[in-house]
Structure 1
Amino acid sequence: MAAVMMMGVTEVEIVVAHQERATLRVGEVFLKVDADPARTNVEMAAMALAPVPTPRVLWHNRLVLALAALPGSALGRLGQLSTASPRAWTAAGAALRQLHDAPLPPWPGRELEEIETNLDRQCHWLLDNDVLPVDLISRNHEIARVALREWTPAFIHGDLQSNHVFVDGDVVTGVIDWSEAAPGDALFDVATLTFGHEEHLTDVLTGYDSSVDLAVIRGWWSFRSLSAIQWLVEHGFDPFAPGCEVDVLKAQK
């Protein structure tokens, strides 16, 4: 994260930036710049349909979306212990249940065959480039395959990392970054929210108020790690940082 300050000028903060997207914060406004206008269109449509708090859209054009800042702070961040209370995690689980119970968005989600193919391709890349030990990849590939089964589609966020959920005390004030929203597996969202924060899975499930298959949750944890490492490496992020993707793979049994 970087920031620039000039005398008499509001701070401009680079929240995240890579070849595909960039997000800037200017005072109480977030500017999201996306090379693919289709993602911006999905984000706006999903926020309009979602039955949970979302940022207020200030304006947009083909490639830039301006959003009002949400009150509170992120529920958690990968690689860091969350300072949010267990009740805040439970509230996030309840908000997720509300989303999954909503009518499906009218655009298609990813097909299971596509997801399976992507997992196999990513595992081959990890092996071919000697990124991780063979046994670690093989074990997590098998764990991930448990999640790749038929499911009843739900309205999912699609990238519900803990830093995409904002809370103020024990109240969810908003959910951001909806460009991956689509019909999909509800447990993928549950797994993504608790990814790297296994200690809060019980809190989330208390609010989610529905029995889940924990083997599927763990499967999506392995899937998310295996399928993300190449992209992270190629875009200047470190999946080997403490508590991040590689550590999640090592913790899987």
Structure 2
Amino acid sequence: MDEVKVVVAHSERATLRVGDVFLKIDADQTRTDVEVEAMAMAPIPTPAVLWRKPPVLALAAVPGTALGRLGEPSTASPSAWAAAGAAARTLHDAPLPPWPGRGLDGIAAELDDECAWLIANRVLPTDLVTRNRQVAEAALRPWTPRFIHGDLQVTHVFVDSDEITGVIDWSEAARGDALYDLASLTLGHEEHLDDVIAGYGTGVDLDVVRGWWSLRSLLAIRWLVEHGFDPAAPGCEIDVLRARV
């Protein structure tokens, strides 16, 4: 029997790997509904759904290796990063999913709450939070809704020979800002933004991408701490915030 590997586990969900099968267990089946439907709609490679028996979703492993990992240098080539940008463009040009995404007002309110929490609990210096809140303002503007992945971090994009072989973890897919996906993809890997844009094409406002880097990091820290992750690890969210100062 193949070894059972725990890929991720916290109070909301867990993912196990057994051979070439991933078993995703989610306390909220609405997220699983979104994931299954989004993968069926997406015009880019996604994992095959093997079976579903709530609360478990079984997915086939995709070939290749992850584009990178947060906090570690990526060994992927510029061409692979450009291919990721091109895949993002293909997704963003696809028909919109029927369900909505997060609204601008809700994101702004959540950002205010998280900044207040970071300062009140002395998790980060006030000037660091304040400066990044200012940078984040660039992302808080009206956008044309696109079909976005919603969590397009480097570990969710797989490549082989500079080609995209699969994009995983679609539970956050929705209508949203295309530049949020590009910011998620390059978070902590800012040196590859030019490569991503080379594959993506036009329509990339760098100030907005930087705004999403700050905004995503500010929103993530409390969740990461409460679920046993370390946003202060080298190259991770707190370092992303420090880079904006």
Q: Please say whether Structure 1 and Structure 2 have the same fold, judged by a TM-score greater than 0.5.
A: yes
Q: What percentage of aligned pairs have identical amino acids?
A: 69
Shift of 1:94: 0.3
Q: Given residue 66 of structure 1, which amino acid in structure 2 is its aligned partner?
A: A
| TM-score (normalizing by structure 2) | 0.99
Identify the match of residue 184 of structure 1 among 176, 181, 188: 176
Residue 86 of structure 2 is matched in structure 1 by: 94
Decide which of 162, 183, 186 is 1:194's aligned counterpart: 186
8 A Cα contact 1:159 1:177, kept in partner: yes
Residue 222 of structure 2 corresponds to which residue in structure 1?
230
* AA matched with 2:41: L
Measured on the aligned residues, the alpha-carbon RMSD in Å equals 0.6
2:199 corresponding residue in structure 1: 207
Q: 1:176-215 deviations in whole A, cap 9, x for unaligned? A: 0000000000000000000000010000000001131100
Aligned pairs for 1:141-220 within 5 A? 141-220=133-212
Is there any run of 5+ residues in structure 1 with no aligned partner, and where? Answer: 1-8
Q: Out of 69, 75, 84, which is 1:77 matched to? A: 69
Unaligned runs of 5+ in 2: none
**Is 1:244 aligned with 2:236?**
yes
Q: Which of the numbers 109, 127, 149 marks the counterpart of 2:101?
A: 109
The question of whether the paired residues in 2 share the 8 Å contact of 1:42 and 1:178 is answered with yes
Question: Residue type matched to 1:131 in 2?
Answer: V
User: SS of the residue aligned with 1:32?
Assistant: strand
TM-score normalised by L of structure 1 = 0.96
Q: What is the distance in 2 between the residues matched to 1:252 and 1:61? A: 45
Find out whether 1:19 has 2:41 as its counterpart: no
Q: What is the SS of the residue equivalent to 1:146?
A: helix
Shift of 1:64: 0.8
The one-letter amino acid of 2:146's match is: A
Contact 1:89 1:203 in 2 (8 A): yes
User: Any conservation in 2 of the 1:84–1:169 contact (CA below 8 Å)?
Assistant: no
The one-character-per-residue Cα deviations of 1:105-137 (angstroms, maximum 9, x if unpaired) are 000111111000000000011011000111000
Q: Which secondary structure state, in structure 2, belongs to the residue aligned with residue 10 of structure 1?
A: coil
- Give how far 1:246 is off: 0.3
Give the Cα–Cα distance (whole angstroms) in 2 for the partners of residues 61 and 114 of structure 1: 33
Distance in 2 (CA, whole Å) between partners of 1:212 and 1:204 is 10
Residue identity opposite 2:173 in structure 1: A
Runs of 4+ in 1 over 2 A off after TM superposition: none
SS at match of 1:155: strand
Q: Is the 8 A contact 1:74 1:165 kept in 2?
A: yes
